[in-house]
Amino acid sequence: MQYAIIFIILLMLVLNVVFKIASVFRLSIPLIYVFALPIFFPNWLGENEPLALGILIAMLVLVVISWVMTIRNKIENRRRQKQFDGSWD
């Protein structure tokens, strides 16, 4: 019984770390999808595996697009800041 409690606590700690890392990289929703789909919809997943994989790939593509847009916006903001700072010289 004690080992089960220790196992559950360790599992919760690992999942906590995994979800914190996933949230930093904006992968929380795809991660929830990967965990929830086989648990709650195993029959649908078995019958529609290509569709489920396509949905996952689409979510990952959207995450990558959000990364690219964030990087682009940060570069643009730095460029504007340098231009603004240089105009007062």
What tens-digit pLDDT sequence spans the chain (89 residues)? Answer: 899 999 999 999 999 999 999 999 999 999 999 999 999 999 999 999 999 999 999 999 999 999 999 999 999 999 999 888 876 65
| Domain that residue 51 falls in | 2-86
**HSE (side-chain half, CA atoms, 13 Å) at 72:** 6
| 8 A C-beta contact, residue 59 and residue 29 | yes
pLDDT value, residue 84? 85
Give how many domains the chain has, as a whole number: 1
Locus of tokens 């231009």: 83
Q: What are phi and psi of 88, to 5 degrees?
A: -90, 0
Give the whole-angstrom CA distance, residue 48 versus residue 82: 52
Name the token pair of 39.
């648990």
User: What is the model's pTM?
Assistant: 0.81
pLDDT value, residue 15? 93
